Structures are given as structure tokens and as C-alpha cells.
Amino acid sequence: MRILGIETSCDETAASVFEDGKVLSNIVLSQEAHREFGGVVPEIASREHLKAIVPIVRRALEGAQASLDSLDAVAVTVGPGLIGSLIVGIAFARSLGFSAGKPLLGVDHIEAHIAAVYIAHGEPREPFACLVASGGHTHLFLVERDFSMRLLGSTSDDAAGETFDKVARMLGLAYPGGPEIEREAARGNPRAISFPRPVLPRGYEFSFSGLKTAVRYFIDRHQGEISRQLVADIAASFQQAVVEVLVEKTIRAAIDKNVKVVSAVGGVAANSALRAGLARAAAASGLELLLPPPALCTDNGATVAATAYLRSRVNRDTSHFPLSPYSTRAY
């Protein structure tokens, strides 16, 4: 089954051709226009998607040496995401599918993040605990063998990626903040500042707003003394606090739920400190760790196509695939 996957839920315009578990092409354009604003500006995002969607899809088809005719379906992200951005992808996918006479499959963005595990590691033989940590979500799931998922917990305030973005902005770093913080942190001391670890007693809920505020207060208290080294130390200490919480809860979920495999996906799972922390903790607890490569953790079209593929294997009737955009959803 050959599927064209299209992703426009936030600030990546992305397309991929995917065939029976294999990625034939995966083209991602990260919009540069938001860098100076310290976050995604929805109106700008939609306009940038409009400009990029045709060339990106064309490059994905060419990269896979696939004609429109050779496709079995077109899959597109329908939510959660920015409504204006989603509409561009859906309208384009709908017209393309209609003109080429191909079925159109709507895909959930969080499921797509989880599908990265299947692309990178094949079909997991066991249920697994999966952390989805992105700009909009910090969700912990138990994923069953048939690609069905049960939410164990999520953030009660900011998402992990959003916290990276906001702290980066406080430090005068560009958007997206995650990679910027990671780069600064490499020169800093993760034990220089003791920021709070927001490990809530309640099950698998996360909370990052207290940590964000602690960083804000620290910066305010040290106005005028923020050297390059202090920026690096703040970045490293902040990153360490986020990593400890994400690792602790993810590993605890696997142990509590008695599963032997853990995984992490979403943009924040591209972070090398988080990857190293998970690797150490998983090994210490005798758990297998499935970590897709960073390019499959951040937003892309291959995971969209893979989700449609996995979903249509569970239920061959494709009429249940939704096509209206949504900004949020309860899992």
C-alpha cells in the first residue's frame, strides 16, 4: 500500500511517500518566519503553508519516483493543531485526492507521533509505555499491540516543548527553543542551579509552569549579571530538571503497568540529554527502549502516512477516517 502523507498542523510543511512500512521520501520544511517572534504566529503559519505545500508535495513524489497515479491513498493530519494550518493541508489533500481519484484518510497528530516507533523499530511485539512530548503535548500512553492507545496522564499546564520555547525566549534565544537550549546546555553545568523538579505526587500528570516561573524569577534576580556562561548554566540546569521529570514518569509508568518496553516521541524526544537519560534509566530497570531517530520525532509526513497504514490495517473500512480539523482532543 503506497500512501502520500501530508502534515501542516503547526509550523512544518511536510510530505512523504510511504509504502508498506518503508519511507520512500520524507521532505520537511520548517518555517523560518517565526524565529523572531519567539513562537508560532498562527496567521503567518497558514500563509507559509500555502506557499510551500505544492513544492513540498512535488519534492516528496519526485524523491520517491512516485506518480500520483501510483498512490493508493492520500493521508493528512486533521488535528490537534492550528486550525488555519490544518485547513491548508486538508484542503490541498482533498483536492489532490479528488482529482487523482484516491481515498483521503484523516490522521490524528498524536497517533502520528507514536507511529514513528513502528517506522523505526517495526511492529513492537509487546504493549509499550510511550511518552509524547512536543510543543503542544506532554502525554503518556500505554500503546497496545493493535495500535490502540490508552492515556495514562498528561500535562496540567504547559507542554514540555512549549516550556523549552518559553525559557529560550527568556534567555534571548531563537524559536524553536528546544534545539537552542540543547546547544547552550552543552556548554553549561546541569548542577549549577537547583530548579524545582515538578514531580507531582498524582500518577502520571505533568506540570511545567512552576519550573518556568522559577527560571523567570532566577533571571529577574540576576539582571545585569547574565553572562554567556550563566546563560549556558541556566539552560543546562533547566534542561536537566525537565529531563529528570520526563524520564522518571515514563519509566515509572512502564514499571507500574508491568510492560517491558518504553518509548519517547515528539519534538522533545529529539533532545540528546533526554535520550541519554532514558537510555540510562531503561537499562537500570531492565526495560527495552525504542527511540526513533530525531527526524521521525519532530513533525513529518512519513508518520502521517504510517498512521493511515496502521489504522487501515486494523480497520480496512476507510470511511471512518475523520476530515474536519480540530485544535484539541481528549484521548
Q: Least CB distance from residue 13 to ligand KG4, whole Å?
A: 12
Does the footprint of ligand KG4 cover residue 138 (CB under 6 A)? Answer: no
Q: Which stretches of the chain bind Zn ion, using CB under 5 A?
A: 134, 299
Contact stretch for ligand KG4 (CB under 6 A) within 94-102, 249-257, 264-272, 276-284: 264-272
| Residue (of 133, 134, 131) closest to 143 by Cα position | 131
Question: Other C-beta atoms within 10 Å of 59: how many?
Answer: 14
Which residue, 300 or 312, is less far from ligand KG4 as judged by CB? 300
Instruction: Render 236-276 in DSSP notation, one character per residue.
Output: HHHHHHHHHHHHHHHHHHHHHTT-SEEEEESGGGG-HHHHH
Q: Of residues 276-315, which lie at the interface with ligand KG4 (CB under 6 A)?
A: 298-299
Q: How far is CA 158 from CA 48, 69, 188, 209, in A?
A: 26, 43, 24, 6
If contact means CB under 5 to 8 A according to the sort of partner, which of ligand KG4, Zn ion, none does residue 5 touch? none
Does the footprint of ligand KG4 cover residue 80 (CB under 6 A)? Answer: no
Q: Least CB distance from residue 65 to ligand KG4, whole Å?
A: 27
Does the footprint of ligand KG4 cover residue 268 (CB under 6 A)? Answer: yes
Binding track over 157-196 against ligand KG4, x by CB under 6 A: ----xx-xx----------xxxx--x--------------
| Residue (of 159, 224, 220) closest to 10 by Cα position | 159
Alpha-carbon gap, residue 190 to 194, rounded angstroms: 9
Alpha-carbon gap, residue 190 to 253, rounded angstroms: 25
Q: What letter would DSSP give residue 32?
A: S
- The binder of ligand KG4 chosen from 5, 97, 136, 301 (CB under 6 A): 136
Alpha-carbon gap, residue 30 to 14, rounded angstroms: 8
Contact stretch for ligand KG4 (CB under 6 A) within 50-58, 187-195, 262-270, 313-321: 262-270
Does the footprint of ligand KG4 cover residue 266 (CB under 6 A)? Answer: yes
Q: Least CB distance from residue 220 to Zn ion, whole Å?
A: 31
